[in-house]
Amino acid sequence: MRTQTQGSGFWDKFNRLDTRITRWMALHGITLLRLALGIVYIWFGALKIVPGLSPAEDLVRDTLSPFVPLNIAIPLLTLWEITIGVGFLTGKFMRLTILLLFLHLPGTISPVFLLPDRVFTVAPFGLTLEGQYIVKNVLIAAAGIVVGSTVRGGGLVDDPEVFEAEQTMHEVVR
């Protein structure tokens, strides 16, 4: 027959392991998210350097061509995306990087309104592959918000008691 003290050894070990993992995530999560954003932006920007390499090339051309000459738009977009990526990778000029990201995002979702036949199989829920490519920008926007929330030196809190105390302090200050 098991006693409660025998069973609690497992839970004590589990909680210690869970605490270590959660603490590691809190310590490194923002940095990993920032680096991931940097890699994605550099990669997607670099694909636009070589004609025919980016799977989004036709969508980009069809979206931009009515508004801007492509010989200007594509190189500018390439430079813009790579600049965002370098900002995230280096962690330098983060406010400017976040600003460039959020100025870039409306253009990335514009095909939803400008080229809906390229985005939806059945509007508004059935997405084409290009539509899925566009919708993932919701995740990029959220990641930008999370990374941006730390530009003043903040970070993630892994301790629920510390978190609750901070929440209470913020309520008092409001």
Q: What is the pLDDT of residue 149?
A: 94
Kindly calculate the radius of gyration of the chain based on its CA atoms and give it in whole angstroms: 22
Distance CA 57, CA 63 (A): 10
What would the two tokens of residue 166 be?
């901070």
User: Per the domain annotation, does 143 fall within a domain?
Assistant: yes
pLDDT value at 138 more than 90: yes
Tell me the per-residue pLDDT of 39-88, one tens digit each, with 9 for 90 and over.
999 999 999 999 999 988 999 999 999 999 999 999 999 999 999 999 99
User: Per the domain annotation, does 36 fall within a domain?
Assistant: yes
Number of domains, the chain = 1
- What is the CA 150 to chain-centroid distance, rounded? 14
pLDDT value at 174 more than 80: no
Tell me the per-residue pLDDT of 77-101, one tens digit each, with 9 for 90 and over.
999 999 999 999 999 999 999 999 9
Q: What is the pLDDT of residue 159?
A: 84
Q: What is the pLDDT of residue 172?
A: 76
Distance CA 83, CA 98 (A): 11
pLDDT value at 170 more than 90: no
Q: Which residues pair with 120 in a beta bridge?
A: 127
Q: What is the pLDDT of residue 103?
A: 97
Nearest to 139 by CA among 24, 33, 32, 26: 33
- What is the CA 166 to chain-centroid distance, rounded? 25
User: Per the domain annotation, does 2 fall within a domain?
Assistant: no
User: Per the domain annotation, does 111 fall within a domain?
Assistant: yes
Q: What is the pLDDT of residue 12?
A: 93
User: Per the domain annotation, does 9 fall within a domain?
Assistant: no
User: Per the domain annotation, does 4 fall within a domain?
Assistant: no
Q: What is the DSSP letter of 153?
A: S
User: Per the domain annotation, does 6 fall within a domain?
Assistant: no
Q: Which amino acid is at 138?
A: V
Q: Which amino acid is at 126?
A: G
* Pairing state between β 120-122 and 126-127: antiparallel
Q: Which domain holds residue 154?
A: 20-173
User: Per the domain annotation, does 3 fall within a domain?
Assistant: no
